[in-house]
Amino acid sequence: MPVMVTGGIRRLPVIEQVLASGVAMAGIATALAVDPTLPRRWQAGETKALAELPPIRWKRKAFAALAYMALVKLQMRRLAMGSKPKAKASPLRALLLEQWCTLRRVKQYKRMMNSRLD
């Protein structure tokens, strides 16, 4: 049965070890969000990601985890719009933006569902 591993892989030796252990696929989305040239550089013989998101050292770990995910999503949105990743993005700003976007999507969904019921 195929198995996929995701989360925190930023170095070529780690991904090679994961794949050699029998895992069918390994995800590198976070590393790609910060360093979109990573696969090309791995092919050129480099083994480590150039940049990574700094750890968020908030007391409330749940909020820190949400902010970290929001930072990754922010970087992906920037890439999708043709911009470069922003290594020094604010975790708080990214979290607030993500929550605001989620609230807007929920409101849109509710309006759509209500219009279907009418």
Write the pLDDT tens digit of every residue in 75-114: 999 999 999 998 889 999 999 999 999 999 999 999 999 9
pTM over 0.85: no
CB 32 within 8 A of CB 52: no
pLDDT at 64 over 90: yes
**Residue 47 contacts by C-beta under 8 Å, 6 or more apart in sequence?**
11, 12, 13
DSSP state of 85: P
